[in-house]
Amino acid sequence: MTKAVVFDTYGTSDILKISELRDIEPGPNEVLIKQEAIGVNYHDILYRSGRKKIENLPTVLGFEAAGIVQSVGANARSLNVGQKVAYATAPIGAYRSHRCVDQNYVIAVPDELNTHLVAACLFKGLLAHTLLFRTYFVRVEDTILIHSAASGVGSIMTQWASSSGVKVIGTVGTDAKKEVALKNGCMQVFNRKAEDWVKGVLDLTGGKGVKVIYDSVGVETFNDSIRALSKFGFLVLFGESSGKVATVNLSDLESKSLFLSIPSVFDYKMNRMELVLAANEIFDKMKSGLFKEQISASFNLADVSEAHDLIESGQNINSIILC
């Protein structure tokens, strides 16, 4: 039997329950994966809580996992039994021990990479790739700001950008996370809840502001982010941990000829070639030693509620996995 975390109503983490589902066989274009590790993402919290809606309940949460191919459908000829694989942009349903996934979402993983680390990095890495190199292509001469620079996505973005020579300023929600963000490669880190980070950014940039701000916080930081941008700057909104931005004053954007983008990794990585190329860039970075400390906590599938609670507490750093 396949073990899965199923929920049938929106609510707090205690609605997540382990169920046993019947064994499944892959369809013609699918592969059956024995999942060794499952990535936990803030998207999962949004869906579980009802802040994002799911068409059909009950269902299984989760977008990414890594494991070993157990069997393949008749038309899934690019993948082999025993092969190490991962996925991160398939439809919702990853919180389970075994899963059939359409081959178009499945990516071959290099043998030398650990499936636990891949599950901690792939979805967040694809999002980081989208933000840093597709929504806006960061350049060595840029100074950028990343909110929540010690979070799962923020950690990967900071390491990737700083290793490419980009100057990164970070914000975090607690003093304890400052050291993590600095270790990730930030040149300066502000506690956005206790410090005037906008003044700090303007002081560091000679009053000009930064070229790009990546904002996963939402309503709490949105207006201040606009203040901290340079003329012709980019505000990239990709999360809402403090709540959704309900209204935007276009005059605020017009005042400095600013650009606002709200990208979805699922749209940007819909094309198979783009998905594979981006994933391979992530794998290359991992093989070089980047992101090697990305896993901060791991939980058994049955303890998924604890994983969600840790994320919602705001105390977690880097990535959390189920295994």
Boundary of a domain, candidates 237, 261, 285 = 261
Same domain, residue pair 208 and 287: no
Q: Does residue 128 lie in a domain region?
A: no
Query: HSE-up of 76 (CA within 13 Å, CB side)?
Result: 27
Q: Which residue has the tokens 């709490």?
A: 220
> Over the stretch 74-113, which tens digit does the pLDDT of each residue have?
999 889 999 999 999 999 999 999 999 999 999 999 999 9
What pLDDT score does 46 carry?
A: 92
Looking at residue 56, its pLDDT comes to: 87
Boundary (domain end) residue, out of 234, 261, 288:
261
Residue 62 forms part of a structural domain: yes
Instruction: Judge whether residue 295 has pLDDT over 90.
Output: yes
Residue 317 maps to which CATH number? 3.90.180.10
Peptide bond into 263 cis (omega under 30): no
Return d(Cα 41, Cα 210) in angstroms, integer.
Answer: 28
Per-residue pLDDT at 226 exceeds 90: yes
Query: pLDDT value at position 184?
Result: 95
Q: How many CB atoms lie within 10 A of CB 317?
A: 24
pLDDT (0 to 100) of residue 189: 98
The CATH number linked to 254 is 3.40.50.720
pLDDT of amino acid 1: 83
User: Does residue 135 fall inside a structural domain?
Assistant: no
φ, ψ at 116 (rounded to 5°): -65, -45
**Residues 255 and 158 both lie in one domain:** yes
User: Which has the closest alpha carbon to 217: 145, 167, 268, 265?
Assistant: 145
d(CA 49, CA 178): 29
Contacts of 206 (CB under 8 A, 6+ apart): none
Q: Is residue 133 part of a domain?
A: no
Residue 175 in any domain: the answer is yes
In this prediction, residues 27-52 reach a mean pLDDT of 95
For 263-268, the CB contacts below 8 A with 24+ separation are 263/130, 263/131, 263/134, 263/135, 263/236, 263/238, 265/89, 265/123, 265/126, 265/127, 265/130, 266/89, 268/130, 268/134, 268/135
The neighbouring-strand residues paired with 18 are 5
Q: Are 162 and 113 in a shared domain? A: no
Q: Is the pTM of this model over 0.85?
A: yes
163-203 tens-digit pLDDT? 999 999 999 999 999 999 999 999 999 999 999 999 999 99
pLDDT over 90 percentage in the chain: 93
163 and 199, same domain (yes or no): yes
Give domain status of residue 33, yes or no.
Answer: yes
Average pLDDT along the chain: 96
Question: Residue 227's pLDDT is what?
Answer: 97
Question: Domain range for residue 218?
Answer: 140-261
Number of domains, the chain: 2
For β-strands 84-87 and 30-40, DSSP reports them as unpaired
Check residue 316 and give its pLDDT.
Answer: 87
**DSSP string for residues in 274-306:** HHHHHHHHHHHHHHTTTTTT-EEEEE-GGGHHH
Burial class (CB within 10 angstroms; exposed 0-12, middle 13-18, buried 19+) of 251: exposed
